[in-house]
A and B are shown apart, each in its own frame.
Chain A
């Protein structure tokens, strides 16, 4: 665990940090909207993780260019994680939408979005 280990993986450190920030927001924040924001940060971190896994040094966009004369896969970055993450982004948007719809419904019934007040009014 030298300095190279930390410096060589700085992208993964940032992703881990984002994951933790997201989890903290979802589980520890008392405001329901902040929980949803935490969820979005969490999902973004996962998306970044996949994208990070796809990248390569000295590689270009995955469109085969005849002018380049190369069909070696090592010259192109892996396109699959990007397409997977397009799906994951759609899922994340849908989940956020359902979450906001539920928040509107909660606010109409209880007139609050704070978890402690909500628990008091639910009794």
Chain B
């Protein structure tokens, strides 16, 4: 019985607990955090079982209200959706464990609405993954977006301005998506993704269908921060509170990438579309630009969180490159990079949160080698995350780039192979800039002599508390473990996701 309901269970759990938290939190404010954590913990086994069930017996579909598929709204759990749902629940669980202390330091008076918003955000994300209906996807997109605007607004002094900018641009994005859906609906008469995919080959020559696709991709590109539609991202991520940015940066843009995959590869047939409008090539070229632009801008940043935000623009570029190549290896690389980037960005943003709580700032210029002894474990996690971002062999980041490069070679996209390698070098420069400051002593310049404690010997321990350290280290460990398990993942899990059209 529970198997038939699997697609709906995860989003519904989040949605209901998001409504329960303010009701109970009104009387007992302290209950908000345990409730949120319990909800997220409850969804992990459901999502895990969903993935196991889908891998074992094929996609599970659920029709809301008993209305059969093309007429009613359908929820479908297929390999891609169940895998990413599990990713969202696991990463958000680790971030929430980390959040307990951070949120009580950064915004103590907003606990109840904060956790309610977090769960609404997750409900939106998991709903987007599970739904099989184009308009329903818009509704979940708006749920997650509205919660996201609220989360970005809870932060430092300038956060409402960043949130407002995010709201205006996000509304343009979702508006374009809705308009594109309207085009597709008017032409095909259906909103169900599987049904639309069946009808589309007959009407693909209509300009309105292609215009609808372009509108949808542009809208989702804005939400995904696909270069050059990324301009809202750095402000939004760097002025949000540490917990919000640790949730939004690894997961928010990945969900956008998922929608792109769903529309480009599952609803539309990429090869047939490519003959009419070169949409995947355009995505690939723009993403290549994004990799270089994001990396160069990250190099110029003096604030750790802002540097991570620009590096997100670059990493989304990698995902876009893999999708734009539109071959199985590139697709594998893109999906693997969605997973890896979610984990490594979460790990690095948690390190940023540790720095903010323990030191009160995350300025790169103010970091020095004492940090490696004050916060040894956090800095070790930073190094693992940085190695993975650069893509050095034992870590997970290497393998996704490996598949992206293989995809580039298979399709003879030599420029893209060059961009991926050059992007890795730029990553190395901007992360080693931080790692060097943290680990290498005897920096030149008078600032070192003016150290208040008069020498390097007196170093107090300022490591983050266990509840913050444990999730950071688990994520860093996961980067190493996933690096070792990547061939298993690709052969056993991601292999099943590759759409038939590729």
Instruction: Spell out A's residues near B (CB within 8 Å).
Output: 19, 23, 26-27, 32, 35-36, 39, 42-43, 46, 49-50, 53, 81, 84, 87-88, 91, 94-95, 98-99, 102-103, 105-106, 109-110, 118, 122
Contacts and interface: CB of A to CB of B under 8 A. Distances in A.
Contacts of A106: 160-161, 164
A105 B149 CA distance: 13
Contacts of A98: 146, 149-150, 167
A91 B160 CA distance: 20
B132 to A, nearest CB: 16
Nearest to B150: A98
A19 B179 CA distance: 10
A53 B179 contact: no
B185 A53 contact: yes
Contact of A35 (B135, B149, B168, B175): B168
Q: Which 7 A-B pairs have the closest CB atoms?
A: A105-B160, A53-B186, A102-B164, A91-B142, A106-B160, A102-B160, A39-B171
B158 interface: yes
Contacts of A87: 135, 139
A94 B146 contact: yes
Given A94-B146, A98-B146, A39 B168 contact: yes
A105 B153 contact: yes
Contacts of A50: 182, 185
Interface centre among B150, B164, B178, B179 (most CB of A within 10 A): B164
A122 B175 CA distance: 29
A91 B175 CA distance: 11
B15 interface: no
Contacts of A103: 164
A99 B167 contact: yes
A27 B222 CA distance: 14
Given A53-B182, A81-B185, A91 B139 contact: yes
Interface string B134-163: 010011001000100110010001101101
Given A102-B153, A102-B163, 20 more contacts: A26-B168, A35-B168, A39-B168, A42-B172, A43-B171, A43-B175, A49-B179, A49-B182, A53-B186, A81-B185, A84-B135, A87-B135, A88-B138, A94-B146, A98-B146, A98-B150, A98-B167, A105-B153, A105-B160, A106-B160
12 contacts: A19-B179, A26-B168, A50-B182, A50-B185, A81-B185, A87-B135, A98-B149, A98-B167, A102-B149, A106-B160, A106-B161, A122-B161
B221 to A, nearest CB: 16
Interface centre among A19, A102, A103 (most CB of B within 10 A): A102
B128 to A, nearest CB: 14
B175 A42 contact: yes
A55 to B, nearest CB: 11
Q: Which of B149, B168, B186 has its CB near the most chain A CB atoms (within 10 A)?
A: B168
B212 to A, nearest CB: 11
Contacts of B163: 102
Contact of A118 (B161, B172, B179): B161
A36 B171 CA distance: 10
Given A26-B172, A43-B171, A102-B153, A32 B164 contact: yes
Interface string B160-199: 1101100110011001001100100110000000000000
A43 B419 CA distance: 38
Contact of A95 (B139, B142, B186): B142
B179 A102 contact: no
B178 A88 contact: yes
A68 B150 CA distance: 51
Nearest to B153: A102
Contacts of B178: 46, 88
A79 to B, nearest CB: 12
Nearest to B145: A95
A42 B167 CA distance: 14
Contacts of B172: 23, 26-27, 39, 42
B340 to A, nearest CB: 33
Contacts of A32: 164
Contacts of B175: 42-43, 46
Contacts of B142: 91, 94-95
A13 to B, nearest CB: 15
Contacts of B139: 87, 91
A106 B167 CA distance: 13
A46 B164 CA distance: 21
B323 to A, nearest CB: 26
A89 to B, nearest CB: 12
